[in-house]
Amino acid sequence: MPKQPHESRPRICDYEGSNYRTEFWEARGRDYEDRVERVALRRLLPPAGRRLLEIGAGFGRLTNEYHAYEQVVLLDYSLSQLRYARQHLGDADRYLYVAADAYHLPFRPGSFDAATGIRVIHHISDMSAVFRQVRRVLIPGGVFILEFANKRHLKAMLRYALGKQSWNPYELSPVEFVELNFDFHPDYVQQRLEVARFETEKRLPVSFFRLASLKDRLPTDLLVGVDGLLQLTGLLLTPSIFTRSIALGTSPNQLDAASIFACPECGGELAHKGAILACHWCDLRWTVRDGIYDFKAPLED
């Protein structure tokens, strides 16, 4: 039986038209953060694969790390970020650009053998709902690499001990320190992954030296090298944690299907006619804009 379209919508953090690339990454001296995240990602990625879903791909900062995959699907809620990624990466057959939210992934079950979510889950108010979606679109044994903002990091614990911070870093519940910006306890994240039928294989602490005073005084190569060594200690005291989890249970394997897309509202099959994708079940229609599959909102009649 077809599912009913979703009536309620979660809060969405929208980077549409933002200067995230130029102001946050390029103008703020974050070469250290970029490089240590790449170190962790390379440690956790499988050596090769068929199709990878990059959730929260943004402007494609990390997409070149997935070169061993036959196809990469860049998913983000911001059309403007995806347009830049497309301009930068091009229209090669191995890239698909999809505008959608992570709560309603517009894909058929078992369409991917890997997924990543880096610097995105801290904008998610319902982590469990997103994890269920990721598990649905992965094949059994598929790899999910997640990065999350750690609530129980060393600076937060020190500030709490000195009475300079009201929220408790040891409590499991997430803390929303700014609207739609969450920090998570590592054990809370692992519990939510388990409920969504994932088994966590590895957890890596990342960004040990995310302090302007250190980054301004010490060579970036040195900081990255030491951070890479400390990632292997398993000391989950850093502001960023990377995890590698495996999809458990049974589900379809549709890596060879003619189309990976499904209606994000009801899960129905989509008929692709030109630039329009129409759902057989709920009659909603979606479109392709500037080479980007736009599932942010259905077309109006």
pLDDT tens digits, one per residue of 12-58: 998 998 888 888 998 778 999 999 999 999 999 999 999 999 999 99
- Residue 153 pLDDT class (50, 70, 90 cuts): very high
For 197: left if phi > 0, alpha if psi spans -120 to 50, otherwise beta; the answer is: left
pLDDT at position 4: 44
Indicate if the pLDDT at residue 74 is higher than 70.
Answer: yes
What amino acid occupies position 50? R
- Dihedral of alpha carbons 140, 142, 143, 146, sign: negative
User: Taking the model in full, what pTM does it have?
Assistant: 0.95
Pairing status of strand 138-149 against strand 175-178: unpaired
Give mean pLDDT, residues 96-111: 97
Q: Which CATH superfamily is domain 20-148+176-294 in?
A: Vaccinia Virus protein VP39 (3.40.50.150)
pLDDT tens, position by position, 213-264? 999 999 999 999 999 999 999 999 999 999 999 999 999 999 999 899 999 9
Domain range list for the chain: 20-148+176-294
Burial call 112-134: b when 16+ CB within 10 Å, e when fewer: bbbbbbbbbbbbbbebeebbbbb
Provide CB contacts within 8 A for 213, sequence distance 6+.
Answer: none
